């Protein structure tokens, strides 16, 4: 029997970051998959045995996941019984014929297997462990005279995936399917179509999401009055008595006003209205917009992205063509190394780096963000040029540098709590371009926050008015997630999510050889909370960010702020008005006042007393556009959390 080898290239931002080799010998396929992007990426070896219908009977997957966590997943079929074990779960079913299993950790090559199975079954197929895959044909695409078919495959991940198939349903490319960073896997020989494929993926995504927006956006050409609500005042940090809020198109036109003829009336049923939330560490995509609005986040600070994509996306968010927050962009500048993240601009010389600062300034960016592989000697001239042009300068602590040096060289803010703490844990020759920037956090349990090394940094932050973009929630997820378990950070929402995403979250992300290794992470995470408490007590500004795009993690980040001892009302002020002020937008947003933008949220309950009530989002208004999260979540195959409030339209039938 002929041995067939297929090769695929994984590309991000135009650069090769990984490879897939699939070798077929009859019904058995061996897959080697490795990605290295930003010093991280899955590395897997798979063996798959197919039946005559292309359904995997046996499937073994071994290696490491995104951040180096161990992977050992096994599917086996024998005598009508199918069994599986993965990081997330294990199970066994009996059936007359094999059922398609959706792997928990696998390579993009699996999408081709799924697509062939779904198409053979009529474009919809129940799968193991549960759920249903659906495939929809979108269009035909010409690539150098070869016609390939574009499909959307849903039910595997949190997001649908666009898949290109050639003759005999051979996999040609997988386009996207990630909330934040778009990596595509493309068959060798087609990689020169990268720009075309990225544009195709963008077009398919935009078309799909524009249709969704038409269904979930509510625009009214008459004033809208939300009655029977209590309004959060960030200046007193209290709720008002029950009153009303009126808006017309994009502006708040009344707070506490009586009803007037011709208004649309929304019954707030005693809930709380507060200004829209902020995510101060986002990596926006067309998909994240729906998630953010559903979570009550109306403004994000983008902390590095594909520049062309972002500049095309923002007008679509602003116009309402696509659902999404107001985005304040940061310009990523990364150094050149084998570990470089493929985002923003990667200059090869200092002059090119200075030109990058000017490029961002010319396009109205709020700040520059410096990343891991940057030459530390370039930081001072880059921050000086940024400040000269009116931009702020923030970032990671580049490898082999320290937070102290970055503060002295002009940083206005440090990005990620681990980037700060690593400066107190690492030796000078340790390389944070690798996953060490996460794994070294296991040492934090022994850190003395009252020690001179820590306190010197804190004093520098105070002297230079340097804040911290915390993203503690993502460190909690990475350090404390465990295979087969639902961590407390995910418990409030995970059972509402698609089954594939639920399984993905039930995993150990960190590499560990023993229970003692895992215990070190568990014992170290509280030190991050102690650090936040210490910085807050010292007057260091803390900014809630997530490095995620689901919106749910914004809620968890705010809960962690309360967990370190901050009052819920203080946290709400930070998440609304203080963030708006920090971004230079307090004159238009951040509080419920006449004349400001109609960017606000209606939640059930009183989050000034119970911060968890911030999750109970019933309605979101962004620039006057009304969205009901329940409608958005149904479009995303997520079980809604809260019902929309009653709406009365004058003249409409009751």
Last residue of some domain: 570, 585, 600?
Answer: 585
pLDDT in tens, 134-172: 999 999 999 888 899 999 998 888 888 999 999 999 999
Domain shared by 196 and 282, yes or no: no
Is residue 244 one of the residues assigned to a domain?
A: no
Would 600 be classed as within a structural domain? Answer: no
Asked whether 642 and 616 are in contact (CB, 8 A), the reply is yes
* Res 577: pLDDT: 98
C-beta separation of 452 from 426 below 8 A: no
Residues 284 and 210 in one domain: no
Q: Does the pLDDT at position 422 exceed 70?
A: yes
- Give yes or no for residue 181 having a pLDDT over 60: no
> Where in the sequence is the domain holding 329, given as residue range(s)?
277-288+295-585
- 102 within some domain: yes
Residue ranges of E strands in 256-374: 264-267, 272-275, 277-282, 297-302, 326-333, 367-370
CB 399 within 8 A of CB 372: yes
Q: How far apart are CA 262 and CA 224, in angstroms?
A: 9
d(CA 394, CA 575): 19
Condensed to tens digits (0 to 9), the pLDDT of residues 594-606 reads 999 999 999 999 9
Q: What's the pTM?
A: 0.90
Residue 608, domain member (yes or no):
no
Q: Are residues 323 and 197 in the same domain?
A: no
DSSP result, 583-637: TT-TTTSSS--TTSB--EEEESS-TTT-GGGGG-EEEEEETTEEE-HHHHHHHTT
Task: Write the pLDDT tens digit of every residue in 289-337.
Answer: 999 999 999 999 999 999 999 999 999 999 999 999 999 999 999 999 9
- pLDDT above 90 as % of the chain: 82
pLDDT digits (tens, 9 = 90+) for 262-285: 999 999 999 999 999 999 999 999
Kindly report the CATH number assigned to the domain that includes residue 511: 3.20.20.140
The overall average pLDDT reported for the chain is 94
Over residues 121-130, the pLDDT tens digits come to 988 999 999 8
pLDDT at 179 over 70: no
Does a structural domain hold residue 14? Answer: yes
Residue 101 lies in a domain: yes
Domain termination residue (choose one: 568, 585, 602): 585
The reply to whether 652 falls in a domain is no
Q: What are phi and psi of 246, to 5 degrees?
A: -115, 140
Structure tokens at 317: 């968010």
Q: DSSP state, 489?
A: T
Instruction: Let me know if residue 626 belongs to a domain.
Output: no
Segment 356-379, tens digit of pLDDT:
999 999 999 999 999 999 999 999
- 301 and 206 part of one domain: no
Specify whether 364 is located in the same domain as 467. yes
pLDDT digit string, tens, across residues 48-84: 999 999 999 999 999 998 878 889 999 999 988 999 9
Residue linked to tokens 């006449």 = 594
pLDDT digits (tens, 9 = 90+) for 455-491: 999 999 999 999 999 999 999 999 999 989 999 999 9
Domain count within the chain: 2
pLDDT of residue 504: 87
Q: Assess whether 180 and 327 both reside in one domain.
A: no
Question: CA-to-CA distance for 288 and 472, rounded, in angstroms?
Answer: 20
Same domain, 203 and 315: no
CATH of the domain at 27: 2.50.20
Q: Given this model, what pLDDT does residue 257 score?
A: 87
- Predicted pLDDT of residue 177: 57
Distance CA 218, CA 283 (A): 26
Element (H, E) at 126: strand 124-126
- Residues with Cβ within 8 Å of 88's Cβ and at least 6 positions away in sequence, in order, are 104, 483, 484, 502, 503, 504, 505, 506, 507
Of 215, 232, 250, which residue sits at a domain end? 215
């Amino acid at each position: 029997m002929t041995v067939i080898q297929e090769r695929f290239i994984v590309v991000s931002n135009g650069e090769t970051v990984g490879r897939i080799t699939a070798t077929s010998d009859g019904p058995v396929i061996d897959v080697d998959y490795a990605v290295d992007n930003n010093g991280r990426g899955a590395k897997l070896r798979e063996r798959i045995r197919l039946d005559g219908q292309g359904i995997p009977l046996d499937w073994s997957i071994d290696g490491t996941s995104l951040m180096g966590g161990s992977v050992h997943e096994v599917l086996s079929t024998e005598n009508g019984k199918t069994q599986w074990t993965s990081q997330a779960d294990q199970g066994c079913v009996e059936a007359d014929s094999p059922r398609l299993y959706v792997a928990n950790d696998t390579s993009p090559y699996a999408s081709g297997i799924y697509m062939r199975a779904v198409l053979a079954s009529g474009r919809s197929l129940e799968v193991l462990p549960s759920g249903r895959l659906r495939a929809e044909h979108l269009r035909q695409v010409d690539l150098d005279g070869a016609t390939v078919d574009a499909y959307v495959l849903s039910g595997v991940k949190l997001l649908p995936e666009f898949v290109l198939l050639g003759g005999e349903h051979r996999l040609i490319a997988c386009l996207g399917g990630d909330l934040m960073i778009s990596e595509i896997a493309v068959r060798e020989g087609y990689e020169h179509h990268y720009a075309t494929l990225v544009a195709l993926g963008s077009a398919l995504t935009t078309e799909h999401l524009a249709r969704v927006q038409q269904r979930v956006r509510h625009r009214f050409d008459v004033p809208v009055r939300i009655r029977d609500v209590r309004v959060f005042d960030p200046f007193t940090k209290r709720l008002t008595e029950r009153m009303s809020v009126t808006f017309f198109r994009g502006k708040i036109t009344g707070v506490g006003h009586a009803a007037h003829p011709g208004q649309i009336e929304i019954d707030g049923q005693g809930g709380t209205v507060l200004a829209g939330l902020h995510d101060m560490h986002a990596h926006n995509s067309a998909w994240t917009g729906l998630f953010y609005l559903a979570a009550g986040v109306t403004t994000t600070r983008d902390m590095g992205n594909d520049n062309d994509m972002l500049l095309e996306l923002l007008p679509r968010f602003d116009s309402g063509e696509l659902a999404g927050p107001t985005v304040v962009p940061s310009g990523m500048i990364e150094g050149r190394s084998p570990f470089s993240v493929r985002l923003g601009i990667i200059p090869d010389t200092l002059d090119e780096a200075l030109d990058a600062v000017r490029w961002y300034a010319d396009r109205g960016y709020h700040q520059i963000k410096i990343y891991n592989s940057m030459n530390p000697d370039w930081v001072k001239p880059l921050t000086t040029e940024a400040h000269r042009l009116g931009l702020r300068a923030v970032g990671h602590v580049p490898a082999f540098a320290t937070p102290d040096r970055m503060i002295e060289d002009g940083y206005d803010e440090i990005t990620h709590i681990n980037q700060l703490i690593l400066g107190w844990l690492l030796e000078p020759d340790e390389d944070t371009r690798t996953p060490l920037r996460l794994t070294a956090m296991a040492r934090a349990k022994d850190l003395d926050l009252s020690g001179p090394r820590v306190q010197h940094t804190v004093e520098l932050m105070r002297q230079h008015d340097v804040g911290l973009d915390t993203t503690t929630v993502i460190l909690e997820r990475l350090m404390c997630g465990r295979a087969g378990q639902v961590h407390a950070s995910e418990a409030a929402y995970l059972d509402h999510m698609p089954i594939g995403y639920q399984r993905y979250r039930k995993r150990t992300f960190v590499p560990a050889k023993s229970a003692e290794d895992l215990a070190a992470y568990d014992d170290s995470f509280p030190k991050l909370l102690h650090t936040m408490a210490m910085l807050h007590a010292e007057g260091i500004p803390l900014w809630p960010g997530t490095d995620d795009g689901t919106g749910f993690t914004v809620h968890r980040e705010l809960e962690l702020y309360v967990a370190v001892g901050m009052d819920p009302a203080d946290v709400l002020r930070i998440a609304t008005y203080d963030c708006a002020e920090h971004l230079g937008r307090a004159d238009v947003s951040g509080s419920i006042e006449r004349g400001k933008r109609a960017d606000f949220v209606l939640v059930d309950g009183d989050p000034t007393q119970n911060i968890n009530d911030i999750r109970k989002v019933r309605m979101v208004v962004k620039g006057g556009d009304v969205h009901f999260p329940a409608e958005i979540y149904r479009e995303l195959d997520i079980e809604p959390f809260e019902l929309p409030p009653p709406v009365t339209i004058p003249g409409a039938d009751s």
